[in-house]
Structure 1
Amino acid sequence: MASTSKKSAGAQAAAAVQVEPDLPDETLNVEEAVEAIVEPALEMQETVRHALEKGVVESRAAFVKAKVSAEEAANAFELSFAAVKDGVATFNTKALAAARANAEANFDFIKATLAVKSVSDLIALQNDFAKKQTDAVVVQVKDLAAVAQKTVVETLEPIKDQMSKSFKIAV
């Protein structure tokens, strides 16, 4: 048995001697195989890296556009709210002035009716008062309508401008 194991060891050594010349060829084949796998993997990695970098740049640009658009929209709403505030203040001032003028006209009419001596004078006074008040109310309503229309236009103008800018940017 000892000789069998020695022969086996000797046979193995002889076989190893024969395998050693084949190793450099196999090593070259393994290196070529590794290069064949690594090179496309590196190219793919570079392609993915480039695509990701491009995506990051485009995302940043889109974020900047969105941020600018949001800031412009906020400014448009601020201008709109300021126009509403000013318009409502003007409308209220005109409405109070109209109410005051109408109240003064009514008090003047009542004073005048107390000084009337006949029914025919009262009827004439009533007709004159009704005509003046109708004309005054028509003028007051026109003034209030003009203020309301101006307020609506000034309120919607900043928003309309911003919307048209946003659609131009989006398209």
Structure 2
Amino acid sequence: MANPPKKTAPKADAVTEAAPLEVAAEQPALELAAEPAKVTQLFDVASAPVREIQENVRKATEKSVEDTRAAYARVKTVAEDATSSLEASYAAATKGIVALNTKALEAVRTNTEAAFDFAKALFGAKTVAEAINLQTEHARKTFETVTAQSKELAALAQKVATDSVEPLKTSVSKAFSAH
């Protein structure tokens, strides 16, 4: 069984049939090349959306940069204010601690002098009754003195705490009222 020969189109016919298609495809490009205004118009129409997108991206980028600069300026201002407040708070605390230490040292000096005066008077007592009276009087005076000193130190400590916190409180109030 022999295979029958296959039918194929003549090669010359295939070339002639394809040739009109190639010429038809090239013709619009040739027409456009002959008219530069049409080419420019075609590119202008095609590039209009691209230009619009580029303009929108540029505007969004500029706005983002402006917003970032404004946010940075606000953060910088808040940080500078916070730093100033902390410095003022530390200065007030330092000054207050020095005042507390000075007041405490004065109390120690006063109490030490009173103790030496009591010891001197006690050595000078002639009778036990006189010694007991001196002891009672010294205890009463010491209690009154220590009570007064404690009140003074407590009031001073409260003032130091208030003065130390005031700059921070003002800064926080200012920060929250501004935003």
After TM superposition, the score normalised by the length of structure 1 is 0.82
Q: How far apart in 1 are the matches of 2:88 and 2:42?
A: 69
Which stretches in structure 2 are left out of the alignment for 5+ residues? Answer: 1-11
| The one of 90, 105, 112 aligned to 1:103 | 112
Structure 2 counterpart of 1:34: 43
Higher helix share: 1
* More moved, 154-163 vs 23-32: 23-32
Aligned to 1:133: 142
Q: How does 1:141-156 map to 2 (within 5 A)?
A: 141-156=150-165
One-letter amino acid matched to 1:114: F
Deviation at 1:65, TM superposition (A): 1.1
Alpha carbons of structure 1 residues 77 and 19: separation in structure 2 relative to 1, 3 Å: closer
Instruction: State the partner residue of 1:162.
Output: 171
Partner residue in 2 for 1:23: 31
Q: Could you tell me how far 1:103 is from its partner in structure 2? A: 0.3
Distance 1:82 1:36 in 2: 69
Preserved CA contact (<8 Å) 2:32 2:39 = no
* Deviates further, 28-37 or 97-106: 28-37
Q: Does 1:63 pair with 2:64?
A: no
Q: 1:22 to 1:110 in 2, by over 3 A?
A: closer
C-alpha contact 2:92 2:164 (8 A) present in aligned 1? yes
The structure 1 segments of at least 4 consecutive aligned residues displaced by more than 2 Å after TM superposition are 18-22, 24-37
CA distance change for structure 1 residues 20 and 44 in 2, over 3 Å: closer, same or farther? closer
Sequence identity percentage: 39
Separation (CA, whole Å) in 2 of partners of 1:156 and 1:20: 83
Compared CA separation, residues 75 and 20, structure 1 to 2 (3 A): closer
* Residues 1:44 and 1:117: Cα distance change in structure 2 (over 3 Å): same
Aligned match of 2:84 in 61, 75, 89? 75
Alignment RMSD (CA, Å): 2.8
Cα distance in structure 2, aligned partners of 1:124 and 1:135: 17
Q: Which has the higher contact order (CA 8 A, sep 6+)?
A: 1
